[in-house]
């Protein structure tokens, strides 16, 4: 099925906050998508607000003293009333998304109510350590897409797991109760994404900790061969971050 034959419209939702370099990268990856979404909702709760542009529907959620340490569920819930598309793709700010990521996820939603990429890839940029998650019964939220028919269940998960960094696990557990969901693997020859950890900015979940047991299973990728395998077209941008050529101080001029 060609992209022009796909039904419905696509909404991307991105929760973010105090990760200016990561979000600049995210904007760059979205600009490069061969299939552009009809709507991109960005919910920002950082102490320093982003400077939005016309590509996104920007929502400023002011930080609150009672916010949990992980505000993922709150920011996602904030986006729900604004969703217009019937295909919803979660885009996290510190992930790499290849140019055909949105198109591939949207195409799979023609046949499945929810789709995700299993055996997740994690790469810690500064240390060069990496691993694959190995699980095939669920996907990271950052590699999950679903139809609007699942919005009531997604909303319920968000409300009952406020402050949890494991929204993805709870959501996929709920889906599997009824035998739904399609998990696939993108191989290195057709890599659609990579979870890039260790970028400057607000700390996330355990994947950001290079000393975690999962990362210690691999030797450091000193030659950056794995990085190039997972991000064959755009790995040079991450190499510029490693070399100090792209920083929080110059990303605006870098991406002009």
- Cβ-contact 61, 79 below 8 angstroms: no
pLDDT at 208: 66
Cβ atoms 229, 188 nearer than 8 A: yes
What does the pLDDT read at residue 6? 59
pLDDT digits (tens, 9 = 90+) for 110-153: 999 999 999 999 999 999 999 998 889 999 999 999 999 999 99
Domains of the chain, residue spans: 3-254
Residue 1 burial (C-beta neighbours within 10 Å; 0-12, 13-18, 19+): exposed
DSSP 62-76: ---TT--S--HHHHH
Q: What is the pLDDT of residue 188?
A: 63
Residue 207: the pLDDT is: 64
Cite the DSSP H helix spans in 98-233: 101-108, 151-160, 167-176, 213-216, 225-230
pTM above 0.85, yes or no: yes
Q: What is the pLDDT of residue 1?
A: 43
Q: To 10 degrees, what angle do helices 20-31 and 235-242 make?
A: 160
Domain spanning 3-254, CATH architecture: Alpha-Beta Complex (3.90)
Q: What is residue 125's predicted lDDT score, i.e. its pLDDT?
A: 94
Return the pLDDT at 25: 97
Chain-centre distance for alpha carbon 228: 19
**What whole-number distance in Å separates Cα of residue 176 and Cα of residue 167?**
14
What is the β-pairing status of strands 114-117 and 144-147? antiparallel
User: In a structure prediction context, what are the per-residue pLDDT tens digits for the chain, which is 256 residues long?
Assistant: 444 445 679 999 999 999 999 999 999 999 999 999 999 999 999 999 999 999 999 999 999 999 998 999 999 999 999 999 999 999 999 999 999 999 999 999 999 999 999 999 999 999 999 999 888 999 999 999 999 999 999 999 999 999 998 999 999 999 988 788 999 999 767 899 999 999 998 876 656 677 777 787 778 999 999 999 999 999 999 999 999 999 999 999 999 8
Which of helix, strand or coil describes residue 97? strand
| pLDDT at residue number 206 | 58
Among candidate residues 196, 204, 195, 144, the one with its CA nearest the CA of residue 174: 144
């Amino acid at each position: 099925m060609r992209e022009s034959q796909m039904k419905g419209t696509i909404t991307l939702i991105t929760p973010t906050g105090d990760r200016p370099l990561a979000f600049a990268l995210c904007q760059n990856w979205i600009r490069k998508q061969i299939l552009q979404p009809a709507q991109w909702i960005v919910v920002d709760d950082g102490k320093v607000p982003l400077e939005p542009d016309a590509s996104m529907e920007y929502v400023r959620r002011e930080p609150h003293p009672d916010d949990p340490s992980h505000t993922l569920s709150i920011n996602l819930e904030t986006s729900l009333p604004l969703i217009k598309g019937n295909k919803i793709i979660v885009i996290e700010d510190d992930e790499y998304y290849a140019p055909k990521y949105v198109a591939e996820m949207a195409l799979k939603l023609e046949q499945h109510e929810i789709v995700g990429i299993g055996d997740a890839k994690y790469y810690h940029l500064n240390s060069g350590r990496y691993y694959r998650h190995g699980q095939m019964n669920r996907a990271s939220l950052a590699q999950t897409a679903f139809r609007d028919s699942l919005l009531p269940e997604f909303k319920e998960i968000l409300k009952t797991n406020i402050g949890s960094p494991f929204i993805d696990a709870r959501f996929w557990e709920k889906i599997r109760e009824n035998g739904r969901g399609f998990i696939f693997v993108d191989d290195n020859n057709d890599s659609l994404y990579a979870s890039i950890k260790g970028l400057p900015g607000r700390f996330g979940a355990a994947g950001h900790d290079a000393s975690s047991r999962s990362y210690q299973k691999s030797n450091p990728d000193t030659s950056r061969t794995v990085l190039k395998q997972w991000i064959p077209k755009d790995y040079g941008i991450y190499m510029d971050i490693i070399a100090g050529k792209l920083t929080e101080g110059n990303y605006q001029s870098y991406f002009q």
